[in-house]
Structure 1
Amino acid sequence: MTDTGLPQDLPTGVLINGEWSGAADGRTVAVINPATGDELTSIADAAPADARAALDAAAAAGPGWASTPPRQRAEILRRAFDEVTRRKDEFARLMTLEMGKPLAEAYGEVTYGSEFLRWFSEEAVRIGGRYGLNPEGTGRIVVSQRPVGPAYLITPWNFPLAMATRKIAPALAAGCPVIIKPAANTPLTTLLFAQLLSEVGVPAGVVNVIASSRAAEVTEPLLSDPRLRKLSFTGSTPVGRTLLAQAAQNVLRTSMELGGNAPFLIFADADLDAAVDGAMTAKFRNIGQACTAANRFIVHASVADEFVARVTARVEKMTVGSGLTEGVTIGPLIDAKAVDSTDAMVADALDHGARLTTGGERIAGPGYFYEPTVLRDVQPGSRLLREEIFGPVLGVTTFETDDEAVAAANDTEYGLVSYAYTTDLARAHRLIERLETGMMGLNTGLVSNAAAPFGGVKASGLGREGGQEGIAEYLESKYTLIPAT
């Protein structure tokens, strides 16, 4: 390690066709430690020319990778899983340095993120098809699967390893070469991971990395090139809508994991101990900076006072500071803009009549910190009920009837994930049917798993990542008819 805590051999360039280099126009961009506001290092700030070169490399490498036996692709991914696991200390510390999450949570992300490598190493050898007589008896139907082709992967800053593995692993398993653009705030983990992939045997050109602060400039030449056949994006809904419009020009296959506004429902019969534990996980994991973070706590009026009292007591015991410091449970937000946004949303809720039970203040620097906060009686019209918070703020509203709770939960353009606590099995089944989300946590505050399909409905996106569904996003079906003889 250097005195910054970064790995000494950490790459800082663009990766194109197996070679690391500076940006085509020589530009660089600083990577900031959000716990201190200091520069960790600077990296190559990829230019449009780098994007075109990356697509050249992916297009050239694609046929060879697609024809690589599935078992060989699987073994490479399994080696990547083993190597990430072996180097868990290095990856966890790097994520905490560039993103800010507490080190214990960074270790959790290493475990979660590496599982996509193991899962899709197993799925690579299970790509199937079907064969059978057609209904008329006049021929045989053969359905085969083949990779869609070069894929452009755009990842966010909040889960630097897991978002890379969740997209790269299924693409490689399916036989697709990729160009990945990590967020400029947190590119270092992806750069280290890409280096690892080369070390475990991924051929040159199959994985190309173009970290850039000029997202629109490097994306346009890729989406306008007919050789690109797949776009996978995780980020905000407004940006997703723009990308979908651009992708339509070449009729690209798209996967969109967009914004969320997750409701967390607590019914009168809920196990309140479990609900409080689940609330702390669903709200404060990753400092609240997750699309799956619980956004709106919709609590039955009969248990609201006790729930608020319990979560307030738990929140007041949380420790804020650098994620590298032992015992810290709330790290910094990603940047000063995030602190401003969180503070503005709390102020708006208070202006609308919410009551503050703890927190509610920005913390003086260095670094970008905000107090973990609990608000009760959040009123209709408050931004907290309409927008993603992406900060450590827990806001509570109340309900009287099941219909009222479901209506409040569904009263949003988003539909990524919902959480519900109840011991009534019949009610639980009704909620599964009625809540308009792509995922649901029933009596749990954590739903993500590499073996399960991750994704939303409505303005939260389309397509799924993880599970058997995840590899299908990178495959297309081909039907062949063989006439009967």
Structure 2
Amino acid sequence: MIDHTSLHLLIGGETISGGGRETQDVIDPATAEVLGALPHATKDDLDQALANAESGFQEWRRTSADKRAAALNKAAALLRERASDIGQLLTREQGKPVREAIGEVVYCAMLLEFYAGEAKRTYGRELVRPAGQAARVIYVPVGPIAGFAAWNFPAINVVRKVGGAIAAGCSVIVKPSEETPAAGIALVQALLDGGVPGNVCQCVFGVPDEVSRHLLASPVIRKVTFTGSTAVGKHLVKLAADDLKVTTMELGGHAPVMVFKDSDVDTVLDTMVGAAYRNAGQVCVSPTRFLVEEDLFPAFRDGFVERAKAIAVGNGFDKDTRMGPMANERGPEGLAKKIADAKNHGAKLDTGGERIGNQGFFFEPTVLSEVPTEAEIMNEEPFGPIALINPMAGADAIIEEANRLPYGLAAYAWTNDPVLRSRLAADVEAGMLAINGANVSAPDAPFGGVKWSGFGREDGAEGVMHCMVAKTIHEG
């Protein structure tokens, strides 16, 4: 089993490190101590990975769906067996409570199991033609894929890059985040141990812009898939456009939570406060902007503050911890600046707002209320343990504010009014909407956004189909 003293690349099924390669320190966010040194791929390494991806694609696209499914199911079983070990690696390098980290690995197994079934459900269709003619639509794998994953969910983000691709018959080169590499390496290794060929799934690291430019410049790569910030996503789309590569972008969000006057305040708070501070708020679908009808606002704000103050913050390995540290030094620094700007614009700081201690990257669960829309934090994803709570005049104002931003990944709503629920489903600009709940993802459900939150979908049947292209066959 990998640990942080044996970090490596996986190219052609071989573990690669040393050899004078540049390295990067991996930091424990709970202590700021160095866990290990991660090797960066050289240009020759990347070229070898590309050559492997091309040969692997030619082999894997012709491999039966049954065999592809068997490899994915075996990998899923291995992830379940290794969930505790991989979860501990994940907590060590990312900071989240270890039970959440183990749950993340188990969710990866669930995704692979769904993809295994979907590998055998890539149905085409027969078109109606006159006698003596025929036409049909089939789906074929798009080709070798380059996947780039973010650090906030080191395992899930990687499996979303590789699972659908492998099910579809594609090869994939994945670059997990250099800040959280071990979980990604362990996930790819489980796929290899499950029977996925070494030239079909490979894992590389390096300076992100250098790696992406090198891979995207190659005609071998036919699709790019990325989870991360909107700014980087736009950059990658521009690079991909030079060769007209297919792209899937899962980008930033700033999710509204619409709380209507017929809601039960305690029920909403019991569900949404935990969601807001999950993974220290470092979640692309994190509920951040709470838009509360005026009649409910005082009770909602006060209840939220009370619950936020009660959240136990600490090392992810402590059994009582409910929120770990932020994942890197940038987190507390950036959030503190946004809070200061909001206060300067007139926002009220109800609790939190400060870094905790002088070791690691801990930050208090924070609540700001009555935040003007001119404040930076109301317009840019905070990506930290903070909730913004504003009173709203009514349903029209709430929906207008929910749709105001260019982001549209996830949204949440609380109401028992069936007419309003239908309106929300039609009018809220988001790729995913949860009504009277906090869950916007499941292995069989497509995951992705609209507007600046990206395009394309991962998970569900769409996660496989977006790694394929339609081909029409006409026969006379």
240-249 or 102-111, which moves further after superposition? 102-111
CA distance in 2, matches of 1:7, 1:79: 19
Change (3 A) 1:356 1:16: same
CA distance in 2, matches of 1:83, 1:275: 37
2:378 to 362, 385, 397: 385
Gaps of 5+ in 2: none
AA aligned opposite 1:178: V
CA contact (8 A) 1:62 1:150 kept: yes
2:53 to 51, 58, 63: 58
2:205 to 211, 236, 241: 211
Aligned to 2:176: 182
CA distance in 2, matches of 1:239, 1:407: 28
- Number of aligned positions between the proteins: 476
1:145-156 map, 5 Å: 145-156=139-150
CA distance in 1, matches of 2:3, 2:277: 32
Instruction: Tell me the CA shift for residue 47 of structure 1.
Output: 2.8
CA contact (8 A) 2:4 2:182 kept: no
Instruction: Tell me the CA shift for residue 218 of structure 1.
Output: 1.4
Secondary structure at the aligned position of 2:119 is classed as helix
CA contact (8 A) 1:274 1:443 kept: no
1:278-289 map, 5 Å: 278-289=271-282
1:67-106 map, 5 Å: 67-106=62-101
1:30-429 map, 5 Å: 30-134=25-129, 139-212=133-206, 214-429=207-422
Cα deviation code 1:183-233 (max 9, x no counterpart): 111011011112222211111211111122x11111112111111101000
Aligned to 1:3: none
Secondary structure at the aligned position of 2:358 is classed as coil
Cα deviation code 1:20-75 (max 9, x no counterpart): 11267511111111000001111211233322211111111111111111001001
Secondary structure at the aligned position of 1:363 is classed as coil
CA distance in 1, matches of 2:214, 2:159: 24
CA contact (8 A) 2:142 2:468 kept: yes
Instruction: Tell me the CA shift for residue 250 of structure 1.
Output: 0.9
CA contact (8 A) 2:294 2:394 kept: no
CA distance in 1, matches of 2:445, 2:215: 30
CA contact (8 A) 2:5 2:37 kept: no
CA contact (8 A) 1:145 1:475 kept: yes
Cα deviation code 1:55-96 (max 9, x no counterpart): 111111111111111001001100111110111111111111
CA contact (8 A) 1:23 1:47 kept: no
CA distance in 2, matches of 1:291, 1:331: 17
CA contact (8 A) 2:167 2:464 kept: yes
Gaps of 5+ in 1: 1-5
CA contact (8 A) 1:58 1:206 kept: yes
CA distance in 2, matches of 1:260, 1:282: 15
Instruction: Tell me the CA shift for residue 269 of structure 1.
Output: 0.5
AA aligned opposite 1:83: L
Structure 1 segments, 4+ long, off by >3 Å, are 6-11
AA aligned opposite 2:427: R
Q: Could you tell me the TM-score, scaled by structure 2's length?
A: 0.97
CA contact (8 A) 1:153 1:180 kept: yes
CA distance in 2, matches of 1:163, 1:197: 15
Instruction: Tell me the CA shift for residue 11 of structure 1.
Output: 4.8
Change (3 A) 1:259 1:9: closer
CA contact (8 A) 1:36 1:365 kept: no
CA distance in 2, matches of 1:464, 1:85: 25
RMSD of aligned C-alpha atoms? 1.5
CA contact (8 A) 2:373 2:379 kept: no
AA aligned opposite 1:179: I
Change (3 A) 1:8 1:225: closer
Change (3 A) 1:137 1:365: farther
Secondary structure at the aligned position of 2:242 is classed as helix
174-183 or 25-34, which moves further after superposition? 25-34
2:470 to 452, 456, 477: 477
CA distance in 2, matches of 1:242, 1:256: 11
CA distance in 2, matches of 1:86, 1:417: 32
Cα deviation code 1:168-190 (max 9, x no counterpart): 11100001011000111101101
CA distance in 2, matches of 1:58, 1:201: 16
Instruction: Tell me the CA shift for residue 389 of structure 1.
Output: 0.7
